[in-house]
Chains A and B, each alone.
Chain A
Amino acid sequence: MTTGPDDAPPIRFELRRGAITALPLALAVGLFGVSFGVLAATTGGMGALPAVVMSATTFAGSAQFAAASILAGGGQPIAAVAAALLLNARYLPIGISVARILGGGPLRRFLKSQLVVDESWAIAARGGGEFVAGRLLGAGLVLWLSWVGGTVIGVIGGEALGDPTALGLDAAFPALFLALLVSQLTDRGAVSAALLGAGIAIVLTPFTPPGVPIIAASAAALIGLLDR
């Protein structure tokens, strides 16, 4: 017993903490991975292996569902690629927000940045624009494993597990984002940015392709310039 948890370096502690926080989400993410696998392998005209490779490399649920459903509907490949990249464009500002904490050389930074998804980023947020690297990586790793694992189960016959929508799991994600948002509302600036961001997203939804409303909502953060 020379190395108890108390002797562990902070990074290991934070990794574990991020992983544990992400566990409940891993269940929902895993089941949606299953449904992505089912969709892509049966109706998507995508095939099993491409679906699994896409989950492992793209690792972004909404973009993958968008691409798979466009392909399933007989849409153009370019439309599927554009929709997916548009949905993932929010990871540009998100990546900038965590740039400072993902240390190491370019290769290490590149690899770490691949574990950034909405959920791991939100779990790593400490408020006031501060993020904890260990929590982000621990959560990201757990979520990556459940997303890819779920996809594998889906493509080899996950229909048996049932429709995640019938289980209400599509309501789990807004509930999660809401729970994480509430912990971020520490001052008036954050509340204003949240209200403005939600407003922008709702107003733009009927008029722009999916993905654009969320990127546009990041403009709400510009009110940070007024605060000081």
Chain B
Amino acid sequence: MTGIWGIVAAIGLGTMAIKAAGPVLLGNRPLPVRVKSIVALLAPALLAALVATATLGEGQSLVIDARLLGVGAAVVALALRTPMLAVVLVAALAAALARLAGIR
């Protein structure tokens, strides 16, 4: 238990530094055009990666489980132009029902 505060401090300070590095060091300096065109695509690239890993990832393995059914239900909800709150709830409901039915 003695080391736990060291771990909490290392992770907390490290994360704070990572989050602050861009905003504090770059400041208001405008980004060069080429960097800007990269930054413009960061959101779609990272969001898609988050969708993939949050749906299929489990540590270092890829698994198909109730989450995939939930995301499938979300795709249908999005196609029907459902508001975001409902999309998220539909996904959770579908995954919860799948687990009730015995799917892991």
Chain A residues in contact with chain B, CB under 8 A?
21, 24-25, 28, 45-47, 50, 53-54, 57-60, 63-64, 67, 71, 77, 80-81, 84-85, 88-100, 102-103, 106, 109-110, 112-114, 116, 118, 121-122, 125, 127-129, 165-182, 184-185, 189-191, 193-198, 200-202, 205-210, 213-214, 217-225, 227-228
- Within the complex, what minimum Cβ distance (angstroms) separates B70 from chain A? 3
How far, in whole Å, are A191 and B24 apart by their CA atoms in the complex? Answer: 31
How far, in whole Å, are A202 and B58 apart by their CA atoms in the complex? Answer: 11
A217 touches B22 (CB 8 A): no
Nearest A residue to B104 by beta-carbon distance? A165
B41 touches A210 (CB 8 A): no
Contact with A along B29-47 (1 / 0, CB 8 A): 1110010111111111111
B46 touches A174 (CB 8 A): no
The 10 A-B pairs with the shortest beta carbon distances in the complex, nearest first, are: A171-B70, A129-B40, A95-B22, A168-B95, A175-B91, A168-B96, A217-B49, A197-B45, A57-B12, A171-B95
How far, in whole Å, are A223 and B50 apart by their CA atoms in the complex? Answer: 19
Residues A168 and B93 in contact in the complex (CB < 8 Å), given A94-B46, A95-B18, A197-B45: yes
17 new A-B pairs (CB below 8 Å) besides A57-B12, A172-B89, A177-B47?
A28-B92, A57-B15, A84-B15, A95-B23, A96-B31, A96-B39, A118-B50, A170-B54, A172-B91, A172-B92, A174-B67, A175-B74, A178-B75, A181-B51, A185-B44, A214-B46, A218-B46
Q: Which residues of B contact A180 (CB under 8 A)?
A: 47, 84
How far, in whole Å, are A95 and B95 apart by their CA atoms in the complex? Answer: 33
B85: interface (CB < 8 Å): yes
B54 touches A24 (CB 8 A): no
B88 touches A176 (CB 8 A): yes
Number of interface residues of B (CB under 8 A): 78
A95 touches B21 (CB 8 A): yes
* Most A-side CB within 10 Å, residue of B11, B25, B39, B57: B11
With beta carbons under 8 angstroms apart, the residue of B6, B30, B95 that contacts A100 is: B30
- Within the complex, what minimum Cβ distance (angstroms) separates B63 from chain A? 10
- Within the complex, what minimum Cβ distance (angstroms) separates A211 from chain B? 9
* Most B-side CB within 10 Å, residue of A25, A191, A198: A198
Nearest B residue to A121 by beta-carbon distance? B43
With beta carbons under 8 angstroms apart, the residue of B22, B50, B75 that contacts A113 is: B22
B41 touches A190 (CB 8 A): yes
B16: interface (CB < 8 Å): yes
- Within the complex, what minimum Cβ distance (angstroms) separates A125 from chain B? 5
How far, in whole Å, are A225 and B32 apart by their CA atoms in the complex? Answer: 12
* Most A-side CB within 10 Å, residue of B3, B46, B53, B78: B46
